[in-house]
């Protein structure tokens, strides 16, 4: 099972002429292999997974696994609002050598909590690798309750954690209270990483780590070691940049930032558009204030 703690990075999917930029993707992965990143998450929300064909999705995962060579765990984003389609994706991806799956709550059709239990149970039973639940009501339109999370963690040994992105500290506290210490809560919101760690989270699946992997990793590591004030200093310094990275829908701003840093093109896929001109100068300023050369 994956040791789910620290700073996992939700990497972007770089495009060139509306195709996967494989060279840029390999460059991004190797950047993290040389950093303090704890694990790599391709094909999540930041990776525009919903805009990839199945063939593109599998190719991205294949490249990431090839480059990691077992040096870092690969936790690939997976899942749709269809259990049967999700099962097909997870079975195909499992054969590529991934270490685990970040599985999103089914969106749009709004299943009941019992429906979520059945959905995630089917996924967990289909593979031996680690399963990490992904709760992000702002995108899915529905919230997975702490009682459901706890029930899944008790019933399925390979469900090892959750990326909690509800933005609700009460909910995260309840999850922590209902699950044992082996279950990992990971922040799904960079700005709330430190507050969530104060109530039991073990780290973050981060957007900001795309450009500042060592800083995000250090913040998590310092807090885990009890160096709370040092971790807080990093959090407060990062906060303006984090807010700038979410002025428009993720991954629009992070792709612009990575373009400025020479990692990849700035374009997401339609219906997403490149960052609006009105935000560009503020984001550039936030990057420079972090000591990033652009």
For residue range 23-33, list pLDDT tens digits in order. 999 999 999 99
279 is catalytic: no
Assess whether pLDDT exceeds 90 at residue 294: no
Compute φ and ψ for 88, nearest 5 degrees.
-65, -45
For residue range 141-190, list pLDDT tens digits in order. 999 999 999 999 999 999 999 999 999 999 999 999 999 999 999 999 99
Q: How confident is the model at residue 235 (pLDDT cuts 50, 70, 90)?
A: very high
- The residue from 134, 202, 255, 256 that is catalytic is 134
Assess whether pLDDT exceeds 90 at residue 293: no
Averaged pLDDT of the chain: 97
The secondary structure of 115-127 as a DSSP string is HHHHHHHHHHHH-
Report the distance separating Cα 189 and Cα 283, nearest Å. 18
Residue with tokens 């840029």: 24
Q: How confident is the model at residue 53 (pLDDT cuts 50, 70, 90)?
A: very high
Q: Are 186 and 132 in contact (CB under 8 A)?
A: yes
Give percent of the chain above pLDDT 70.
100
Domains and CATH numbers, the chain: 6-227 (3.20.20.70)
Assess whether pLDDT exceeds 90 at residue 3: yes
Give percent of the chain above pLDDT 90.
99
Torsion of CA 110, 115, 119, 122, to 10 degrees: -170
Cα–Cα distances in angstroms (integers) from residue 260 to residues 102, 257, 263, in the given order: 29, 5, 8
- The residue from 163, 202, 255, 256 that is catalytic is 163
**Average pLDDT of span 255-268:** 96
36 is catalytic: no
For residue range 83-130, list pLDDT tens digits in order. 999 999 999 999 999 999 999 999 999 999 999 999 999 999 999 999
Compute φ and ψ for 190, nearest 5 degrees.
-55, -40
């Amino acid at each position: 099972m994956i040791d789910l703690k620290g700073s996992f990075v939700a990497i972007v999917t770089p495009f060139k002429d509306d195709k996967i930029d494989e060279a840029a993707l390999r460059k991004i992965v190797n950047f993290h292999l040389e950093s303090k990143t704890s694990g790599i998450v391709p094909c999540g929300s930041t990776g525009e997974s919903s805009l990839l064909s199945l063939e593109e999705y599998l190719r991205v995962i294949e490249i990431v696994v090839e480059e990691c060579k077992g040096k870092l765990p690969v936790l690939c984003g997976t899942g749709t609002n269809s259990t049967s389609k999700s099962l097909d994706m997870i079975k195909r991806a499992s054969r590529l050598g991934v270490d685990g799956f970040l599985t999103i709550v089914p969106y749009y059709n709004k299943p009941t909590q019992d429906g979520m239990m059945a959905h995630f149970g089917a996924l967990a039973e289909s593979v031996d690798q680690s399963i990490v639940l992904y709760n992000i009501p702002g995108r899915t339109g529905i919230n997975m309750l702490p009682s459901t999370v706890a029930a899944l963690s008790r019933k399925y040994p390979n469900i090892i954690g959750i990326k909690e992105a509800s933005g609700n500290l009460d909910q995260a506290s309840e999850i922590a209270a209902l699950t044992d210490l082996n279950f990992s809560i990971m922040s799904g919101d960079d700005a709330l990483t430190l507050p969530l760690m104060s109530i039991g989270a073990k780290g973050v699946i981060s957007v900001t780590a795309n450009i500042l992997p060592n800083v995000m990793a250090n913040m998590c590591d310092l807090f885990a070691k009890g160096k709370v004030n040092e971790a807080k200093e990093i959090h407060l310094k990062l906060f303006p940049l984090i807010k700038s990275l979410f002025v428009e829908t993720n991954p629009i701003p992070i792709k612009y930032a990575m373009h400025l840093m020479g990692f990849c093109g700035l374009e997401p896929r339609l219906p997403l558009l490149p960052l609006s001109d009105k935000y560009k100068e503020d984001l550039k300023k936030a990057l420079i204030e972090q000591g990033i050369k652009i």
